Structure 1
Amino acid sequence: MPNYSYLIWIPLLPLLAFVLLGLFGRKYFRSSAGFIGTASLLASTILSFIAAKQYFFVDGKVNGIYQKITAFKYTWLGFSPGVSIDMSIIVDPVSVMMLVIVTFVSLMVHIFSLGYMKGEARFATYYAFLSLFTFSMLGLVLAGNLFQVYMFWELVGVSSFLLIGYYFEKPSAVAASKKAFIVTRFADLGFLIGILIIAFYGRSLDISVLIERLASTQTAEFTGIATAGFLGVSALTWGLTMIFIGGAGKSAMFPLHIWLPDAMEGPTPVSALIHAATMVVAGVYLVARLFPVFSMDGAVMLIITWVGAFSALLAAVIACTQTDIKRVLAYSTMSQIGYMMFALGISKQTGEAGLGYMASMFHLFTHAFFKSLLFLGAGAVIHFVHSNEMKDMGGLRRYMPVTHAAFLVGCLAIAGVPPFAGFFSKEEILLAAFHSNKAVYGVALFTAALTAFYMFRLYFSIFWNRTTEWHNTHGEGTASMKVPLVILALCALVVGVVPFPGFVTATGAPLETHTIPLFFIAPVALTVIAILVAALFYKNQSDKPNRAAAAFGALYRAAHRKFYMDELYLFVTRKVIFPLIGQPIAWIDKNIVDGLVNLSATTTVRISTMIKGIQSGRVQGYALFFFGGIAAFAILFIYLWK
């Protein structure tokens, strides 16, 4: 078997950096914390590229199919024969792809942060949290055991809580971190229930074993989980739906997306890390990891399809009305994740429909580069103007030439303009939708046009749309901020030509795609029209945007207020859950549960008071009881003798 034992160092190096900086950073490594964290990520990134080269080009393929290899396995907790929690490292096309993405993007964020976060009082703490987050995500993508996935899944949640609330002196940051943590906890409860259902019927927690037993109609395990049911729904459907709920929470799918825009309260490089290649794609990765099992249930695949499609459209509409540049990018992320989700939903294991799976992973791959580029570019802009609002920006192209060029590349990539990376992956998704579901294709096509519009609305509002002079003493930023932008811009330009169908597919075998001639004309034409409309409205200052907003009336106001989802959650929480559920439960807890506990304590005290004289420690008392007992026995004996 090929030797991949070195892979264990890929997650361990960030973990060691976290321990070192977390314990000693503020005292001993205050100024060098960034270099320590960055060096650990550089080493992990190099090892990831070595692993990718070895797996994809040397020994990962057998008989034309990429194999799943267990590089490391240690049984941590055993429950019954075949059911245990293992610490394992799985090497397959998806995990290797995710290794490269997570380490590379995290490395860019680490380098960018050297300049962006310079001078922060908690600089070492920031890099400790970044390292913990990266370790958590790497542990998640390498996990071969479903409960191991869950443990790292929760650790990702804790890490995001720490990073989003990094500026803990700001009440808004504290509220945002709590919101993200609480919302995803509800989703993670569903994930845990799904794990228990799937593991119970599959009689294992090992992902490979579960796929082997549940991805075939010929096995006894599949028969058991498909025939067992609750409320007329099979246990398979319940289990997979619960797992998908966990993924939908992490990936900010409707209706569990409300935490995503608030997460922008964290430092901007954190937003790049969370939104580009780590936390928000974890749900997509989870569905892809268990895809052979998901594909066995058409009802769940339909749920994934329409939740993804609706999330993509909803987020795109909201993004058209937001004025905070980071929130525009946040909703953009939600929309692109929706693309990945519905691409998985319309895919199947075999045949031409397998295009959806490959397209979803391809878009995850390209999205990591251009979305991290856009967030870091937004960070450079915020660093220059000290504001997140588009009204405080404009005309920055002359003052920030590197950022301007890089941001333009990112906008062209996400809009799907050829030959940028997003064009290739998005076209594959549209083609898969066209083959499988024309209604989803229509939604995806319209969403693609909206994406081009709101991204170039953002671009023109930042770099054009103003003629006044800027006076900034610290310039565009340090070299450590510019270099990642240039590298990511080059990636966003070229990674689309990677022959992705030959590497990552649902079956492990290369996928031959059959593009419809001239299929790309409609998407590209709509994209170009949307860009021209954005230029017409936002390239120069005018009242056209205000007139357009007034024309849309209530729809614009609702979209600007995010369709009142936060208000709906607050209403349900404060007016329904708290008074009708929370208060009765609190009364029961205080008066019945605590009352019974207090009653048992009071009863114990009273009984002990009554009998404590028996063991007073006085010898004469013990003698009295002794002779009294003898007298009682004597009387009883005499009575019974008669």
Structure 2
Amino acid sequence: MSAAAVRLVVLVPTVAALIGLLLARRIDPRAARFVAVGASLLAVVMALLQVIAVGGSSRVTIVHTIPALEAGELRIPLELQATVGTATIALVVAIVGWAVQAFAGWYLREDDRYGIFAATVSLFTAAMLLVVQSADLVLTLVGWEVMGWCSYLLIGHWSRNESARRAALKAFLVTRLADVGFVLGVVILAAGAGSTAYPQVLQAWAATDCPDAGACAAPNATLRTAAMVLLVIGILGKSGMVPFHDWLPDAMEGPTPASALIHAATMVAAGTFVIAQLFDVFAASEGARWLLALSTAVTMVYAAVLAFGQSDLKRLLAYSTLSQVALMLSALAVAPADEGPGAGVLHLYSHAFFKALLFLAIGWLSVTVGGTAATAMRGGLRGHLFIRPAMFVGLLSLAGVPPLVGFVSKEHVLAAAEAGAADGQARAWIVLLAGLLTVVLTAAYCMRAWLVLDDLTAADIERHDADTATFPVRALVTVLTILTLVGGLVVFTPLLDLGGHIGWLVALLSVLLIVGAGLAVRSLANGEDPAVQIVGARMPLFDNGFGVDRLYVDYVARPVVALAHLVVFLDREVVDAYVRGAAAAASLGGSGGQRAHRAERASSGLAWVVAGVVAVALAGVALW
């Protein structure tokens, strides 16, 4: 049963995407909604059956798809796998996919391109599920690239707006650039192992180095580090880590359901699971771990600072995603090799629930108040008995308040950093200090968001009826709220291999930091938006990411455009010049030959005429 469930959990949303595209423009949008939501629910069922079938077993079930491909000495088996970890994360992705589809059916009910959007979400979900269930680097790469293409379509869904087109193009170009590293890393790993199957790759590359390279089956450490560094570069781009981070906040130009999908449990978190699958190789690559640790440490603090000063609450959540994804990736950078990647995977699991809840709740609320700007949403939760507790639970979990799922996963990440520091890792100290600072900043911007949304002193504003939400929307918000409340209980089950444990001294310190930061922000608010009180006139600087977009334009976009112009010039004026020159030479040669041929025919004809005249004359004389 598990083999069939593994295949179907990927196949069902894929087929739904194809059917959805066929229905999008030819049949009533309600049919497209039925297919999208129904298929997402079926995917949840298949994922749940897979979890039940796998149970608490530690074995790996390999599932065949199509016959293996042979490319010279390289074998590409194209297999899927079922483990406790893959089954659990697949269930999480399927639940978030269902929630997004159900919410989009209501949120975009008046959108004339809803059918296309729903089909793209289905394909996006299928691609992430393929990455999770993959036991083959090629299948992982396929899912990875399809997600990148779908993110471009989802971010630019409202393509009639220039800002949406620009954001989609930026996301596509930045992630494509980083993906060059991901592809090269995959090529090196596959070439060294002679196979793209995960077991063979791990067996070949995770082996310790031998003094005699000729007698050692494992590739050398330098090449292994190069492969993992390239892979990490691709992951940093897809996850929006520094220096590839600026595309992710701009992705808020897409519809809120797209933001929830991209930010919660799919593309930006996919890199965490890829590294977790290759953790034995990654743990032996010091250079790659240092690169990931430094990038994530900078990103988690930088993004948390920016989140506090955003004038738009949806962008606040976007920057919080950068910070939280950095936190989950940092666990992989510093966790001791014997503890494994469990802390990072747990935070992926946790983040999916509370971030999907927050995005969908903020999207629901934006319909009632007419926007996501802090000024528009001020006091927006008043009277909304359904959204208010959901938002409250989501923000508490994001802040890491016990015993919610966010607290459980964040403390495991900090415990992994603490264990790495105890092992003498300098990078673990960097991550631990950055993590504690991020705890303070996260509590601060969560308190700020709550004070704005629940401001009882705000003047009454015109808003639409919040009760227009359909039953499926209420159901999905309820499910996500419950999972955020009790999801931390997963640590008492065999569903995730955590390895380490919560460090209670660090946990106590983080709780004290959360309380202190929350109280400090509340005391500084004085009945106003705390960001206005603290950041003041510098808020536009926070909105534009401290000018990073300008740096992109000046030092990335313009040089790339100049390079593109140079390439076009060389192509047209140098490379094509040889082709045009050969064509011109052939044309001239043909014209010259033609003229010569015509001239030769004329002179020959004249000679024959003269000869004929002479012959006739001679005949006449002779016959006279």
CA contact (8 A) 1:213 1:222 kept: no
Contact 2:127–2:146 (CA<8 Å) still a contact in 1?
A: yes
Residues 582-601 of structure 1 mapped to structure 2, 5 A cutoff: 582-601=564-583
Task: Quote the residue 2:476 is aligned against.
Answer: 484
Matched, 1:103 2:85: no
Query: Does the 8 A contact of 1:198 with 1:239 survive in 2?
Result: yes
Contact 2:76 2:195 in 1 (8 A): no
Distance 1:285 1:202 in 2: 21
* 8 Å contact kept, 2:225–2:287: yes
Which residue does the alignment assign to 1:535? 522
Equivalence for 2:137:
146
User: CA distance change for structure 1 residues 110 and 227 in 2, over 3 Å: closer, same or farther?
Assistant: closer
Listed one character per residue, the Cα deviations across residues 341-375 of structure 1 (whole Å, up to 9, x for unaligned) are 1100112331xx44xx2111111111100000000
1:422 to 406, 420, 439: 406
Contact 1:396 1:404 in 2 (8 A): no
Q: Which residue of structure 1 aligns with residue 336 of structure 2?
A: 348
The equivalent residue for 2:276 is 288
Distance 1:531 1:176 in 2: 33
Q: Which residue of 2 aligns with 1:604?
A: 586
Describe the superposition over 1:402-447 as per-residue Cα deviations: whole angstroms up to 9, x where unpaired.
1111000000111111111111111111112122233321110110
Please state whether the residue corresponding to 2:26 is helix, strand or coil: helix
What do you get for the CA RMSD once the two structures are aligned? 2.6
- 1:408 equivalenced with 2:405 (yes/no): no
Query: Aligned in 2, Cα 1:314/1:226: closer, same or farther, shift over 3 Å?
Result: farther
Aligned with 1:548 (options 505, 527, 534): 534
- The residue matched to 1:27 in structure 2 has which SS? coil
Which residue of 365, 381, 385 maps to 2:365?
381
- 1:319 matched to 2:307? The reply is yes
In 1, the alpha carbon distance for the partners of 2:106 and 2:12 equals 23
2:326 partner amino acid: G
Q: Which residue of 1 aligns with 2:620?
A: none
1:299 aligns with 2:290: no
Distance 1:574 1:259, change over 3 A: closer
Per-residue Cα deviation, 1:134-155 (whole angstroms, up to 9, x for no partner): 1111122222221221122111
Residue 55 of structure 2 aligns to a residue whose secondary structure is helix
The alpha-carbon distance between structure 1 residues 15 and 403, as it changes in their structure 2 partners (threshold 3 A), is: same
Q: Please give the alpha-carbon distance, in whole angstroms, between the structure 2 residues aligned to 1:340 and 1:273.
A: 17
In structure 1, give the amino acid aligned to 2:22. Answer: L
> Residue deviations 1:553-588, cap 9 Å, x none?
87x775443122111111113554444x34433321
Name the counterpart of 1:636. none
Identity, in percent, stands at 30
Q: With structure 1 as the length reference, what TM-score do the two structures score?
A: 0.87
Task: Name the SS for the 2:81 alignment partner.
Answer: strand
Change (3 A) 1:311 1:260: same
- Report if aligned partners of 2:236, 2:244 keep a CA contact under 8 Å in 1: yes
The one of 473, 487, 498 equivalent to 1:495 is 487
- Separation in structure 2 between the aligned mates of residue 500 and residue 613 of structure 1, nearest angstrom: 93
1:633 is aligned to none
| Greater Cα offset, 202-211 or 251-260 | 202-211
Change (3 A) 1:592 1:150: same
Residue identity opposite 2:270 in structure 1: A
Measured against aligned partners, the alpha-carbon deviations of 1:177-213 in whole angstroms (never above 9, x if no partner) come to: 1111110000111111111222222222222210011
Q: Distance in 1 between matches of 2:108 and 2:134?
A: 32
Question: Contact 2:128/2:267 (CA < 8 Å) preserved in 1?
Answer: yes
Deviation for aligned residue 1:222: 11
Q: CA deviation at 1:267?
A: 0.7
Q: 1:4 to 1:590 in 2, by over 3 A?
A: same
**For the residues of structure 1 that align with 2:397 and 2:214, how far apart are their CA atoms?**
45
Q: Superposition pairs for residues 253-264 of structure 1, below 5 Å?
A: 253-264=241-252
The answer to whether 1:85 aligns with 2:94 is: no
CA contact (8 A) 2:59 2:83 kept: yes
Larger radius of gyration: 2
Q: Secondary structure at the match of 1:401?
A: coil
Contact 2:131 2:274 in 1 (8 A): no
2:553 maps to amino acid: L
Matched residue, 2:38: 39
Aligned match for 1:115, one of 78, 88, 106: 106
For residues 547 and 3 of structure 1, the distance between their equivalents in structure 2, rounded to whole angstroms, comes to 56
The count of residues paired between Structure 1 and Structure 2 equals 592
Are the equivalent residues in 1 in contact too, given 2:170–2:247 (CA < 8 A)?
yes
In the alignment, is the contact (CA less than 8 A) between 2:399 and 2:446 conserved in 1?
yes
In structure 2, relative to structure 1, the CA distance for the partners of 1:563 and 1:75 (3 Å cut) is farther
What is the alpha-carbon distance in structure 2 between the residues aligned to residue 3 and residue 452 of structure 1?
A: 41
SS at 1:71 equivalent? strand
Provide, for residues 29-83 of structure 1, a one-character-per-residue CA deviation record: whole Å limited to 9, x for no partner. 42221121110111110010110111124xxx2xxxx1222112424532124x1
Instruction: Quote the offset at 1:537 in angstroms.
Output: 3.8
Alignment correspondent of 2:183: 192
Q: How does 1:172-571 map to 2 (within 5 A)?
A: 172-217=163-208, 227=220, 234-350=222-338, 353-354=339-340, 357-436=341-420, 437-464=428-455, 466-478=457-469, 479-499=471-491, 502-505=494-497, 511=499, 513-538=500-525, 540-541=527-528, 545-549=531-535, 558-571=541-554
Inter-partner Cα distance in structure 1 for 2:573 and 2:449:
56
The question of whether the paired residues in 1 share the 8 Å contact of 2:29 and 2:115 is answered with: yes
Deviations 1:256-283 (CA, angstroms, capped at 9, x unpaired): 1111011111110111111000011011
User: What residue identity is the alignment partner of 1:530?
Assistant: A
Distance 1:23 1:438 in 2: 54
| One-letter amino acid of the structure 2 residue matched with residue 383 of structure 1 | V
Q: Check conservation: 1:116, 1:481, Cα contact below 8 A.
A: no
Deviations 1:207-245 (A, max 9, x none): 2210011111168799577548xxxxx221111111111
TM-score normalized by the length of structure 2: 0.89
3-state SS of the aligned residue for 1:418? coil
Contact 2:209–2:219 at 8 Å: present in 1 too?
no
For residue 359 of structure 2, give the secondary structure of its aligned residue in structure 1: helix
Q: Distance in 1 between matches of 2:4 and 2:63?
A: 6
The farther-off stretch of 154-163 and 598-607 is 598-607
Aligned pair in 2 of structure 1 residues 90, 120: CA closer, same or farther (>3 Å)?
A: same
* Counterpart secondary structure, 2:258: helix
- Residue 640 of structure 1 corresponds to which residue in structure 2? none
Q: Check the 8 A contact 1:380/1:477 in 2, yes or no.
A: no
Q: Once the 2 structures are TM-superposed, how far is the Cα of residue 501 of structure 1 from its aligned partner? A: 7.3
Structure 1 pair 500–271 and aligned structure 2 pair: CA distance change class (3 A): farther
> In 2 relative to 1, CA 101–547 (structure 1 residues): closer, same or farther, beyond 3 Å?
closer
- Per the TM alignment, residue 473 of structure 1 is displaced from its structure 2 partner at its CA by 4.0
2:125 maps to which of 134, 154, 157 = 134
Aligned to 2:555: 572
The alignment partner of 1:120 has SS state of coil
Shift of 1:518: 4.2
For the 8 Å contact 1:415–1:448, the answer to whether it is kept is yes
Structure 1 residues 587-596 or 249-258, which shifts more? 587-596
Amino acid at match of 2:48: F
SS at match of 1:94: helix
- 2:256 & 2:526 partners in 1: Cα distance? 25
Higher mean C-alpha deviation, range 163-172 or range 93-102 = 93-102
For residues 303 and 227 of structure 2, the distance between their equivalents in structure 1, rounded to whole angstroms, comes to: 27
- The answer to which of 144-153 and 604-613 deviates more is 604-613
Structure 2: 5+ residue stretches without partners: 421-427, 606-624
Q: Is the 8 A contact 1:106 1:273 kept in 2?
A: yes
Q: Following the alignment from structure 1 to structure 2, what is the Cα–Cα distance between the partners of residues 358 and 294?
A: 14
Q: Per the alignment, do residues 181 and 218 of structure 1 end up closer, same or farther by CA in structure 2, a change over 3 Å counting?
A: same
* SS of match in other structure, 1:23: helix
In structure 2, the residue corresponding to 1:498 is in which secondary structure? helix
